[in-house]
Amino acid sequence: MLTIAIYIALVGVAASMIGIVIRVVKGPSAADRVVALDSLGISLIAMTGLFSMLLDSSVFLEVILLLGILAFIGTVAFSKYLEKGAIVDRERHK
């Protein structure tokens, strides 16, 4: 019963990932693609959680935390790049 529910949820998350990939491919601006890639990372977290339930092992749970941190850092870096042209500022005082 629970396995069937997990399978259905996996199919749903996979379908949503396909939709997000469509947005990544045809997004008109770069920020669109960044938003789509951020939510792609977040749905990858969901996939990892579902797979760790399916395989009944708790060794993937670090992966969840790590993917969350990496998605956030990537989004912040890209938004700084799009806004100012540089990720790490050289000049502190302007």
Partner 1 sequence: MIGAFFSVVTAIGLIRLPDLYTRTHAASKSATLGVMCILIGTLIFFLTEDGMFNSRIVLGIFFVLITAPVGGHLIARAAYNMGVKPAPETVVDDLADKEKHEKAKSRK
> Interface with partner 1 includes 69 (CB under 8 A)?
yes
CB of 94 to partner 1, least distance (A): 16
> Interface with partner 1 includes 87 (CB under 8 A)?
no
**Residue among 17, 21, 9, 16 at smallest CA distance from 51:** 9
Q: Tell me the DSSP string of 9-69.
A: HHHHHHHHHHHHHHHHHH-SSHHHHHHHHHHHHHHHHHHHHHHHHHTT-STTHHHHHHHHH
> Between 33 and 92, whose beta carbon lies closer to partner 1?
33
Phi-psi region of 86 (alpha: psi -120 to 50; beta: other; left: phi over 0): beta
Site string for partner 1, 10-39 (x = CB under 8 A): xxxx-xxxxxx-xx-----xxxx-xxx-xx
Q: Under the rule (CB under 8 A), what is the footprint of partner 1?
A: 2, 5, 8-13, 15-20, 22-23, 29-32, 34-36, 38-39, 42-43, 45-46, 49-50, 52-53, 56, 58, 61-62, 64-65, 68-69, 71-72, 75-76, 78-80, 82-83
